[in-house]
Structure 1
Amino acid sequence: MLNDRARILLKALVERYIADGEPVGSRTLSKHAGLDLSPASIRNIMSDLEEIGFVTSPHTSAGRVPTTLGYRFFVDTLLTVRPLEQSAVSQLESSLTPSDPARLMTAASTLLSDLSQFTGLVMTPRRNPAFRQIEFLSLSDKRILLIIVTLEGEVENRVILTDQPYSASALTEAANFFNKNFAGHSFDQVRGKLRDELGRMRDDITQLMAAAVDAGSKALDGSQESVVVSGSRKLLDVQELSSNMGSLRRLFDAFEQKTGLLQLLDRSRNATGVQIFIGGESDMLPFDECSLVSAPYSVNGQVVGTLGVVGPTRMAYERVVPIVDITAKLLSSALSHH
């Protein structure tokens, strides 16, 4: 535990370093901390903070910079979050209105990047594999379009190749049977239930049903998840990141591969509100100068995904945290009212 003077000095040091990007010396601290302390007293407290691992002294300067541990203490206990500017809130509200869910994900990711000037991430919802209804549409003698309407109102189309032609009335009969008996179920659930029904149906219809179940199951695979990434090139403008091109390249690889990002964002799924992953705390972020601020979002109260901002460890957390928080809440509202 730190005493009050040490906490105030550490807060001032982190805030000055975030603002200026330069090691902070005792003279600067005495000016900005608002404490009536001699330079010698400040240096002694700084030595104590360095000894416990909260700050470190770069070889090129007598000033100090926060460590990952120092940032962690800062964001957990000293951070004062600033309300988001009304212009930014208005921009979010006007862009995240109920519409096509896929467009909402892209819009949220872009807004996170634009408002933070770093990289925006949105983990797309894990799709519910159940369907609301299906339709069959004949394309040619042996090509049938399977139209699937999901529980969320999205439409998926798949072409089924059949061994024989089907009349319009047969296709309507098959679709009506499907919707009457299986609406609200997943295709995998239908596969099991259908076995009991096929014995009472004509052979030609059973072949169509089996083909529809296979195609529908592939279309609505509930395990499908992805990450929408926006503004990754903005990180090239961050000096402490662009000066380490090897690590930055690994970060860009992570953006492209997305597997590690999914695992990291998935950790936030059960969080309450905003979570901050700082530098080396996560093996998913390839170097210490990089942080993720994330938050879960929901549909009708059920968490379905997470979103966040990746930027330098030296980011203005007091501004990025409310950007992420409000975006998650507005995205939740838009999806729930879709």
Structure 2
Amino acid sequence: MGDRARDVFRLVVEAYIESGQPVGSRTISRTSTLNLSPASIRNVMQDLEETGLLAAPHTSAGRVPTETGLRLFVDAIMQVAEPRAEDRAAIESLIGRGGPIEEAIGNATAALSGLSACAGIVLVPREEPALKQLAFVPLSDRQAVAVVVGGDGSIENRVIDIPPEVTPSMLTEVGNYVSARLSGLTLREAQARLAGEIREGKAALDKAAQALIARGLALWSEDMARRPVLIVRGQANLIDDSAAADLERVRQLLEELEGKEEIARLLDRARDGEAMKIFIGSENELFALSGSSVIAAPYRGADGRLVGVVGVIGPTRLNYARVVPIVDFTAKALSRLMA
């Protein structure tokens, strides 16, 4: 592609991303410094259409980039800068509020959704975290706060009912047993070991304490099983003013977002590499009908291994130059939080 064609192509793509409308030669002539007549620009646009980089929708005189054209723009033409200071501050503020890791992950999707005007997505870890501590803090004679500390630093708590025969000293005994015998195991492994030691008479606990630990482990195991692998926030952002002319595409995308397992499998592909992945339209079969794009980046745990994926889903005309660095920064912020 020559310099003139490259400049015209870039201007068409940027104008289309901004407006969502077909871009005509007069628009480029009026708003650019190319010093080319509308006729010359029109000829260049025609050449770009013949190479498959632009298309003329319906009978419009304007052009829009094809998916092939968008891929070329993203890979070879657009200039990506660092996220704006206010964007970085917004992301760090939401993610760094404290609380469970799951809350920070949910906040990451909210941050991405708000800043990108797309749907924010986060693929959470599939594996159970290792158990570090299980403790029960009494609230009253009949209730206690069950606290689980994971090996990854995550902390979660639930208020549960306890039998009347359970004493504060028994709650301490439970904590000591978990630290000595179950620390470092996943919830599933801890349940299996506890059951085995009870069966073999090796658990130095009375029946009430045994039941309390088993109940606490079962509570978190059930929570893990019910948790969605994928968190999606901000679907409403996909229904903006420009969507009115293309409601069928938006309806299709919203239906696709309901298929979380399929999207999770797509995002798993982003875990295979070290860097960000960008899927544009029908490059992925899942979004062939809605013509949507996904920008996703992996984030890492304390040991440096890949844990999950964070990103956005939106129309193919999303502002890649702005959204790509935002997604990258969010992934790095989550990695720092988990380190």
Given the two structures, how large is their TM-score scaled by the length of structure 1?
A: 0.80
Which of 277, 287, 297 aligns to 1:275? It is 277
Secondary structure of the residue that 1:268 maps to in structure 2? helix
Deviations 1:117-166 (A, max 9, x none): 2322233333534211223578999999864332223124485898x955
Q: CA distance change for structure 1 residues 330 and 188 in 2, over 3 Å: closer, same or farther?
A: closer
Deviations 1:70-107 (A, max 9, x none): 11111111111133322222333333325112332232
Q: In structure 2, what residue type is equivalent to 1:265? A: L
Alignment correspondent of 2:106: 106
Deviations 1:277-317 (A, max 9, x none): 21222233363442222222223333322222222211221
2:191–2:217 contact (8 Å) kept in structure 1: no
Matched, 1:314 2:313: no
Deviations 1:49-87 (A, max 9, x none): 323322111232222211111111111111111333222
CA distance in 2, matches of 1:59, 1:330: 44
Q: CA distance change for structure 1 residues 198 and 27 in 2, over 3 Å: closer, same or farther?
A: same
Q: In structure 2, what residue type is equivalent to 1:80? A: Q
Moved more, 246-255 or 37-46: 37-46
How many residue pairs were aligned?
A: 333
CA distance in 1, matches of 2:193, 2:185: 10
Gaps of 5+ in 2: none
Q: In structure 2, what residue type is equivalent to 1:94? A: S
Aligned runs of 1:22-171 on 2, under 5 Å? Answer: 22-29=21-28, 42-97=41-96, 99-100=98-99, 101-126=101-126, 128-135=128-135, 147-151=147-151, 152-157=153-158
Identity, % of aligned positions? 35
CA distance in 2, matches of 1:324, 1:18: 18
2:148–2:157 contact (8 Å) kept in structure 1: yes
Secondary structure of the residue that 2:251 maps to in structure 1? helix
Q: Compute the RMSD of aligned alpha carbons.
A: 3.6
CA distance in 2, matches of 1:265, 1:103: 20
CA distance in 1, matches of 2:72, 2:186: 46
In the TM superposition, residue 256 of structure 1 has moved relative to its aligned partner by 4.2
Gaps of 5+ in 1: none
Alignment correspondent of 2:252: 250
2:122–2:231 contact (8 Å) kept in structure 1: yes
CA distance in 2, matches of 1:273, 1:193: 39
Alignment correspondent of 2:234: 231
Alignment correspondent of 1:12: 11
Aligned runs of 1:291-330 on 2, under 5 Å? Answer: 291-300=293-302, 301-330=304-333
Alignment correspondent of 1:264: 266
CA distance in 1, matches of 2:166, 2:86: 57
Q: In structure 2, what residue type is equivalent to 1:220? A: S
Moved more, 205-214 or 178-187: 205-214
CA distance in 2, matches of 1:92, 1:139: 35
CA distance in 1, matches of 2:311, 2:256: 15
Q: CA distance change for structure 1 residues 12 and 93 in 2, over 3 Å: closer, same or farther?
A: same
Q: In structure 2, what residue type is equivalent to 1:231? A: G
Q: In structure 2, what residue type is equivalent to 1:272? A: E
CA distance in 2, matches of 1:269, 1:51: 36
Aligned runs of 1:185-224 on 2, under 5 Å? Answer: 185-194=185-194, 195=196, 198-201=199-202, 205=206, 209=210, 212-213=213-214, 216-217=217-218, 219-220=220-221, 224=227
Matched, 1:183 2:186: no
In the TM superposition, residue 174 of structure 1 has moved relative to its aligned partner by 4.9
